[in-house]
Structure 1
Amino acid sequence: MGYCLGVDLGTTSAAAAVADGVRLDVVPLGNRSPVMPSAVYVRDDGALVAGDEAAGHAVSDPDRVASEITRRLGSPTPVVLGGTSHPATDLLAALLQEVVARVTAQQGLDPELVVLTHPATWGPFRQGLFEEVPQLAGIPDARTTTEPEAAVAYHATTRQSPPEEIVAVYDLGGGTFDAAVLHRDGRSTAVLGTPEGIERLGGAAFDEAVLSFVDDATGGALSELDRDDPRAAVALARLRRDCTLAKEALTLDTETVIPVDLPGVHPEVRLTREEFEELVLGLVESTITAFRRALCSAGVSPEVLSAVLLIGGSSRIPLVARLLSRELGRPLGVDARPQHAVALGAAASGDLHPAAHPRIPRGRS
């Protein structure tokens, strides 16, 4: 039996899922994580390498590694890697090829259909460029759908849905925030009003806030680093990773410790959840404001929403659900797999055997 592959080429990571009418499953892509870094590295011979291997070169060969590639789509400024310009579409195609190769190796056969997702806030120009990506990757029959439409398709597979409903999607990922309101009637899904988005607001921005906190706590030790010193560059990259781990730890824990192993500096910095929430409060509040604008644009009041979907890895931060619950006057919960909700929905929306799996709607793709 063939399968549909859903792919979410996110700003900071890529996720994949498969559906064949019987199962709807996440496919692990990373070497140590279910998701794969959205990074591409150009080798000396000009070949493009994507994923974990590319991310591994970010410290030693930063001028040869591209990250946050989706942000460059449509930009007039070329992506220069190793002294050579590369269109963002080519880099995304290399990333997509790596995803498909990993999934095919695990499934034992090629997908019959690939469904890619993109932000609902993209206009026709960026959408047109994005549709070139599967062509360049050798997947001419791929479909595309918006991320909130995919999220709603996945949501419909997790419960017995009413014949008609209005759903809001709050998507806080690694690099961007998006909010949209959708109407689903069981056969198709449509976006209501104008979706809202905030570029450069997500997990990476929260990581930077933690890094600034560490800098203050160490008396400006980070600011005084010699960025041309290879040892300092490696140590700073390690510290950035530890700041990310600290942020993730505070999703469950009330405090954590960040090791700081920099040239001439070897302290530990304690960070509590309360301190972290103070650091990111303004950023999270701006997403609530954007979410409110999406509701207003759709002409929808909170009480008519049958569900509010919190997706994207950064939506797991407890402050997010707390502030959004206060805004809407109702309790909220984060999806069990927020990083994979979009990929799962993309796979579900293009499922090849809907009769065998009635809880996966065909939807509009």
Structure 2
Amino acid sequence: MGYQLSIDLGTTWTAAAVRRDGVSSMVELSQRSTAVPSVVFLREDGEVLVGEPAERRAASEPGRVAREFKRRIGDSTPLLLGGTPQSAEAVTARLARWVYDLVVSREGGEPDRLVLTHPANWGEFKLDLFRQALVLARIDTPTVLLTEPEAAVLHYAAQERVEPGATVAVYDLGGGTFDAAVLRKGDTETAAFTFLGPPQGIERLGGIDFDEAVFRHVLALVGVDLDEIEPDDTWTSGLLRLRAECVAAKEALSADADTTVSVLLPTVQSEVRVTRGEFEAMIRPTLADTLTVMERAVRTAGIEADELDRILLVGGSSRIPVVSELLASRFGRPLAVDAHPKHAVVLGALLADGGDPGSVEAATAGVDVSTPAGAAAEETPEPVPPASVPPAPAGPRPDAAAGSAPDRGTGAPAVQRSQRRRSPALLVGIGVGLALVVAVAVAVATRGGSTSSADTAAEATATTTTVTETTEAPAATTVTTTEAPTTEPPTTEAPTTTATPTTT
């Protein structure tokens, strides 16, 4: 009998799970863990290293590594891996293919169905690029896209009883994105969950921003200004080690009141003590933004906060103690936590539309993207990077995300349609102008030359100019109105650097 495969390509971690004969289990993607860092290293021979091996090579060859590239999906500026431009979608495809091949080799064959999870606030533009990553990966297994909050609530419902008609809010604070959604279970034990209102989110906010806050805080304490550093291999390696120390410190502060960060840089060797109070002060302004988004999700669901049965915490960053404190204070509702932050989404994805208790209805489960890889590859080629690629910025993260492009939706096709409409209008205008010129000439001939030929030419010229202005003006207006939708709505992005000023 076949099996199903789910993959969660997170900003910082990647996990996979399989379901066979009604039993779900995590896939061990490395010898030490089921989840691996979402890090890709491109070797000189074109082979790809993923996870911990990629991180080890990054210390000596930082120009060949990519991390946090999920945030870059939709960004027209490519990443540089070994001097070769790569789109974020192409790097995502390499990671997806690596996971897929590993599972296929262990399971002895390809899955019957693949489920990929994604942030709930992604628009159609980024979902299309996500589908294109599947095409680039040459994965032709029937595939379903599922939002991360849906997958998380399915896993929770499989572990804990959720009463029929219960309303659950999902607070999903992961490594790179934040999602907030409200779902309600149907009126029977086996009923599906449905969204109440559209999910809300902040696309560029997550644990890596908290890592950055600690990193900047430590640099400020030891007196290192990144703007004054001349990047070289020694500095790059030292800063990479320091970043790893800061990540470990952030995680330690969820359990300890303080921790120590070792600083080994060319100009300073020291140890810095960081307390939980200092860390919470760094991230409180950013966490306040997540509470505002959660309130908006509840409001757009058409309910009051006191109608929530519980708030489900999802994502590794939701385990930070101050998160629970702020949610309890703001909403006053019970908080629920899944056993493992890296497993909940990928295990829950296997239950989508599968007939299990609490499964999401097919209408909300995702989008079927099961297109044969060969045919799709011909229709959707890999994006061609710009002719001139800007050099990698100087600093500690040559592979760090440089921002993502707005979700453009269907703006470009709209412009093309307006350009096609312009040509008939222009032809009609020219025709009208010629008709007027002929009419003037006939009138002059009828009057028997009472008007001089010079006056006739001037009159014809004036008429033609007037027609040209009339036919060109609407064309310019049309372009303006069709370009406007390319700007992303302000609600889909929120400032993600709020924590940084607190640390410097």
TM-score by length of 2: 0.67
1:270, CA displacement in angstroms?
A: 1.0
Q: Map Cα deviations across residues 125-151 of structure 1 (whole Å, 9 max, x no partner).
A: 211221222333233211111111111
Of 84-93 and 321-330, more deviation after overlay is shown by 84-93
Q: Map Cα deviations across residues 187-231 of structure 1 (whole Å, 9 max, x no partner).
A: 43332223222132111111111112212221x135377342322
> Which residue of the other structure, out of 267, 291, 294, is the alignment partner of 2:294?
291
Partners of 1:60 and 1:89 lie apart in 2 by 25
Which residue in the other structure is 1:15 paired with?
15
- More helix per residue: 2
Contact 1:29–1:35 at 8 Å: present in 2 too?
yes
Which residue in the other structure is 1:95 paired with?
95
Partners of 1:147 and 1:168 lie apart in 2 by 13
Partners of 1:17 and 1:302 lie apart in 2 by 34
Partners of 2:47 and 2:359 lie apart in 1 by 40
Aligned in 2, Cα 1:197/1:31: closer, same or farther, shift over 3 Å? farther
Q: Map Cα deviations across residues 96-141 of structure 1 (whole Å, 9 max, x no partner).
A: 1111233334445433221001111111121122122233323321
- More strand per residue: 1
Contact 1:26–1:344 at 8 Å: present in 2 too?
yes
Q: How does 1:1-365 map to 2 (within 5 A)?
A: 1-140=1-140, 141-185=142-186, 186-218=190-222, 220-221=223-224, 223=226, 226-349=229-352, 351=354, 354=355, 358-359=356-357, 361=359, 363-364=361-362, 365=365
**Partner SS for 1:299:** coil
Q: Which amino acid aligns with 1:167?
A: V
Aligned in 2, Cα 1:3/1:306: closer, same or farther, shift over 3 Å? farther
Q: Map Cα deviations across residues 317-343 of structure 1 (whole Å, 9 max, x no partner).
A: 001111011111134243211122111
Q: Which amino acid aligns with 2:128?
A: G
Partners of 1:211 and 1:176 lie apart in 2 by 19
Q: Map Cα deviations across residues 42-69 of structure 1 (whole Å, 9 max, x no partner).
A: 2223344433333333333232222222
Partners of 1:180 and 1:44 lie apart in 2 by 43
1:156, CA displacement in angstroms?
A: 1.5
Higher relative contact order (CA 8 A, sep 6+): 1
Contact 2:104–2:110 at 8 Å: present in 1 too?
yes
Q: Map Cα deviations across residues 59-80 of structure 1 (whole Å, 9 max, x no partner).
A: 3323222222222222222333
Aligned in 2, Cα 1:21/1:297: closer, same or farther, shift over 3 Å? farther
1:35, CA displacement in angstroms?
A: 1.6
Contact 1:4–1:350 at 8 Å: present in 2 too?
no
Partners of 2:286 and 2:31 lie apart in 1 by 31
Of 249-258 and 34-43, more deviation after overlay is shown by 34-43
Q: Which amino acid aligns with 1:68?
A: E
Aligned in 2, Cα 1:221/1:232: closer, same or farther, shift over 3 Å? same
**Partner SS for 2:198:** strand
Partners of 1:40 and 1:60 lie apart in 2 by 14
Of 95-104 and 183-192, more deviation after overlay is shown by 183-192
**Partner SS for 1:193:** coil
1:298, CA displacement in angstroms?
A: 1.3
Q: Which amino acid aligns with 1:158?
A: Q
Aligned in 2, Cα 1:363/1:152: closer, same or farther, shift over 3 Å? farther
Partners of 2:55 and 2:155 lie apart in 1 by 29
Partners of 2:327 and 2:163 lie apart in 1 by 24
**Partner SS for 2:264:** coil
Q: Which runs of 5+ in 2 are unaligned?
A: 366-504
Q: Which amino acid aligns with 1:288?
A: L
Contact 1:115–1:350 at 8 Å: present in 2 too?
no
Aligned in 2, Cα 1:263/1:88: closer, same or farther, shift over 3 Å? closer
1:167, CA displacement in angstroms?
A: 1.6
TM-score by length of 1: 0.90
Aligned in 2, Cα 1:225/1:269: closer, same or farther, shift over 3 Å? farther
Aligned in 2, Cα 1:350/1:106: closer, same or farther, shift over 3 Å? farther
Contact 2:194–2:361 at 8 Å: present in 1 too?
no
Aligned in 2, Cα 1:36/1:350: closer, same or farther, shift over 3 Å? farther
Please report the RMSD computed on the Cα atoms of aligned residues, expressed in angstroms: 2.2
1:250, CA displacement in angstroms?
A: 1.0
Partners of 1:139 and 1:223 lie apart in 2 by 42
Q: Map Cα deviations across residues 281-335 of structure 1 (whole Å, 9 max, x no partner).
A: 1111111111111111111222222331111111110011110111111342432
Partners of 1:108 and 1:66 lie apart in 2 by 30
**Partner SS for 1:59:** helix
Partners of 1:33 and 1:59 lie apart in 2 by 21
Contact 1:209–1:279 at 8 Å: present in 2 too?
yes
Contact 2:155–2:351 at 8 Å: present in 1 too?
yes
Aligned in 2, Cα 1:76/1:157: closer, same or farther, shift over 3 Å? same
Q: Map Cα deviations across residues 207-263 of structure 1 (whole Å, 9 max, x no partner).
A: 111112212221x13537734232221111111001100110111111111111222
Q: Map Cα deviations across residues 135-173 of structure 1 (whole Å, 9 max, x no partner).
A: 332332111111111111111111223233322111111
Partners of 1:294 and 1:70 lie apart in 2 by 24
Q: Which amino acid aligns with 2:337?
A: V
Which residue in the other structure is 2:481 paired with?
none
**Partner SS for 1:121:** coil
Aligned in 2, Cα 1:249/1:105: closer, same or farther, shift over 3 Å? farther
Instruction: Tell which structure's C-alpha radius of gyration is larger.
Output: 2
**Partner SS for 2:197:** strand
Number of residue equivalences: 359
Contact 2:71–2:176 at 8 Å: present in 1 too?
no
